[in-house]
Structure 1
Amino acid sequence: MKLIIVLLQIFLLLPIFSFSIQSNYSYIFSFGDSFTDTGNLVVLYGGLATATPGVWIVKPPYGMTFFGRPNGRASDGRLSIDFIAEALGLPLLPPSLAAAKQSFRRGANFAVGGATALERAFFVDKGFKAVSPFNISLSIQLGWFDALKPSLCSSPQACKDYFAEALFVVGELGWNDYAVMLLAGKSVDEAGSHVPEIVGNICAATEKLIKEGGKTVVVSGIPPLGCAPANLVLMANQTGGEYEPGTGCLRDLNLLSKEHNAQLRRALARLGGRSPAGVRVVYADLYSPIIDFAAAPGRYGLDGEQLRACCGGVGGRYNVDLAALCGMPGVSACADPSKYVNWDGVHLTEAANRRIADGWLRGPYAHPPILNTTATATD
């Protein structure tokens, strides 16, 4: 038994290498927010991005680890969607709002940083100030998808045949919905009262993609909101400041994440159960891996302080300061991002994204794993 434990520990500490495999997928189409966005937010801002507060992802040290420059991703390198594409032997997904000359025959990414599952009108009508200036909700992204279809397939049946070979990914959605409410002073309970609406919109999008011909739709839950360094700084007083003993994360925010994920997983299981034969609805767990990293970072080779941002701030417990965000002049990154879970207070490092993607592809962080082609619905 001791030998098995030692071998397991050694295995977990080994570097994870991306490699392509033979798969049933010829294309990827993805949706979501900044956890999945590969450049759409920067395209939307255009030339104003370099001078717009909050769009610091266009500045170094973003992209430092893999691309060597800022590239529209909210990380030091690749996102989980990038590692999934690489593992399936597909090109990294171009942002759907890229120049018209860009080819989307191998897939497209409709995700946009700041996107919500709920309609923008929901927030505007309630007077929320923090909502994105752009109309980039999930339904809008689905509209972009519909507009792209004529360039990909010539008839409804041709589209069904085409999309049957695609992997659809509905990336993280919900973080921004809850954050807008919480930052406006709403209680965690009030934000949580909207979980059914948010989950309903995500499931409606999933069902639409199935009707379009999709055979595999991967749907991400949300991360533990209480473990994000930025939330630990901004929301400790608002949530009562009770911390989980095993992780140091904010308890009430994590309970909100758990409730969202539980409702989402149940709804996806129902959807999978009534979907046509051969359709797989995959629940991608974004909560458990980050909790695992927070509880035992060294076990995963993430030896940096697990609740501390690699880039930004001026020190302090979480290295988060709104006056010194990652990408602002004079703000630097930690010496080795590969040892950290969190990149900029909200988003994840390439190292964390790599491990999450591997857990979605092969388990244990997806139900069923993407590469498990025998199961047909979430369990």
Structure 2
Amino acid sequence: MKLLLFCSFLVISCHGNSKPDSPHFTSIFSFGDSFADTGNLVVLATPVLKDIWIDMPPYGETFFRHPTGRCSDGRLVLDFLAENFSLPLVPPYLEHNSSFEQGANFAVAGATALDFAFFVNNNLSSPFMFNGSLSVQLGWFADLKPSLCKSYEECQEYFRTSLFIVGEFGANDYAFMMFGGKTLEQIHGYVPMVIETICAAAESLIKQGAKTVVVPGIWPDGCTPANLAQNTSRPIEDYEPETGCLKDLNDLSRYHNSKLLKAVKKLQQKYSHVRLINADYYQPIMDFVRTPHSFGFIDTPLRVCCGNATNQYNVNLTEVCAMPGVGSCENPLEYVNWDGVHLTEAAYHHIAQGWLTGPYAEPPILNSVDN
């Protein structure tokens, strides 16, 4: 599962041009997990863990030329969005040496939508969990707010031109549940609780003045190379013939996304003055896997760039990316997946463009704001 590769990291350790007609956002506030984290996990984990592999080469090699705490070879969707709006790359909140006037990133790799207490109370907690859940991230935002605006009216005006991104959330919740022994059927029963938590967070931000809120769904977990490498003994009928991805894990991802889309639409009806955007990680990754050459990727899109394995996915859960002797591919631009769980900068770039102009957001971000 996605969790298992993330856990292996923890156990062993682990500007483009803006368009002239772009909407004018003055800041970005991001909440999420490893698909959005720009350094918060490294700050959280450093006092606890001796080595944090995501903070070692070759992470960050493509754009930054050094590790930045991002779980990729380069920029994430969040980075490309910031560049599009001519904003600085959004700094991680826990690195307090940055200015947050133009935004802050609260995302933490491994973060869950549900509170840490939920996992403890249900015997699902893990030594690999850091307390960076959605409620914790909202708490950090609340702590930051007084430095940004002093009154209700001032905050309403400040956040009117801010872009808020809530997620993705949910993938780690389900991974920790599987890690704790829950069946997929049982996990389906928790999806409404996860969706309710995500939408409650979005509603809280709306009440604090947010006028543009992006709520992403989760990716096709059955196409995650780490999951595929762990399940090589499963029968052929468990796989989608057109993609080679695992059916049951993709079913869970689709179920989550369908429930989230309905909830976001309901929230939009309640707050008609707010722009609520349902963003998609699922469909772009499926598109990459089905037609990799259309995006400039190699014809084995489920094979990772940074790995050291003899299997078809190049994933070895005991020798993960950045461990001694584990290097990256010659050209990450040709790969969808970076380390078995997370995507390459090239993949994130395609997704970001799809969020901005379509077809991977409903509505596209650039269509959702009055110019």
**Runs (5+) with no aligned partner, structure 1:** 1-16
- What is the letter of the counterpart of residue 65 of structure 1? T
Q: Conserved in 1, the CA contact under 8 Å of 2:40 and 2:108?
A: yes
Q: Does residue 310 in structure 1 map to residue 282 in structure 2?
A: no
Q: Does residue 233 in structure 1 map to residue 229 in structure 2?
A: yes
Aligned to 2:238: 242
Aligned to 2:18: 20
Aligned to 2:150: 154
Aligned to 1:288: 283
| Alpha-carbon displacement from aligned partner over 1:243-290 (angstroms, at most 9, x marks no partner) | 00111000000000000000000000000011042x110000110000
Q: Conserved in 2, the CA contact under 8 Å of 1:239 and 1:252?
A: no
Alpha-carbon distance between aligned partners in 2 of 1:367 and 1:179, rounded to the nearest angstrom: 27
| Alpha-carbon displacement from aligned partner over 1:6-28 (angstroms, at most 9, x marks no partner) | xxxxxxxxxxx942134221000
Cα RMSD for the two superposed structures: 1.8
Alpha-carbon distance between aligned partners in 2 of 1:253 and 1:45, rounded to the nearest angstrom: 29
Map 1:26-45; keep pairs closer than 5 Å. 26-45=26-45
Map 1:169-318; keep pairs closer than 5 Å. 169-235=165-231, 242-277=238-273, 279-303=274-298, 305-318=300-313
Alpha-carbon distance between aligned partners in 2 of 1:358 and 1:317, rounded to the nearest angstrom: 29
SS in structure 2 at match of 1:168 = strand
| Alpha-carbon displacement from aligned partner over 1:51-91 (angstroms, at most 9, x marks no partner) | 24xx3101110001000011100000000000000011111
Alpha-carbon distance between aligned partners in 2 of 1:141 and 1:48, rounded to the nearest angstrom: 20
Aligned to 1:114: 110
Aligned to 2:346: 351
Aligned to 2:363: 368
How far apart are 1:313 and its partner, in Å?
2.8
- What is the letter of the counterpart of residue 32 of structure 1? G
How far apart are 1:38 and its partner, in Å?
0.4
Q: Percentage identity across aligned positions?
A: 54
SS in structure 1 at match of 2:366 = coil
Of 61, 64, 67, the residue aligned with 1:64 is 61
Alpha-carbon distance between aligned partners in 2 of 1:233 and 1:151, rounded to the nearest angstrom: 46
Alpha-carbon distance between aligned partners in 2 of 1:23 and 1:311, rounded to the nearest angstrom: 36
How far apart are 1:304 and its partner, in Å?
5.2
Aligned to 1:12: none
How far apart are 1:238 and its partner, in Å?
7.8
Alpha-carbon distance between aligned partners in 2 of 1:360 and 1:80, rounded to the nearest angstrom: 9
After TM superposition, the structure 1 stretch with the greater mean CA deviation from structure 2, 253-262 or 232-241, is: 232-241
Alpha-carbon distance between aligned partners in 2 of 1:196 and 1:273, rounded to the nearest angstrom: 19
Cα distance, 1:246–1:363 mapped onto 2, change above 3 Å: same
Q: Does residue 330 in structure 1 map to residue 328 in structure 2?
A: no
After TM superposition, the structure 1 stretch with the greater mean CA deviation from structure 2, 107-116 or 310-319, is: 310-319
**Runs (5+) with no aligned partner, structure 2:** 1-14
After TM superposition, the structure 1 stretch with the greater mean CA deviation from structure 2, 313-322 or 358-367, is: 313-322
Aligned to 1:3: none
Alpha-carbon distance between aligned partners in 1 of 2:129 and 2:280, rounded to the nearest angstrom: 29
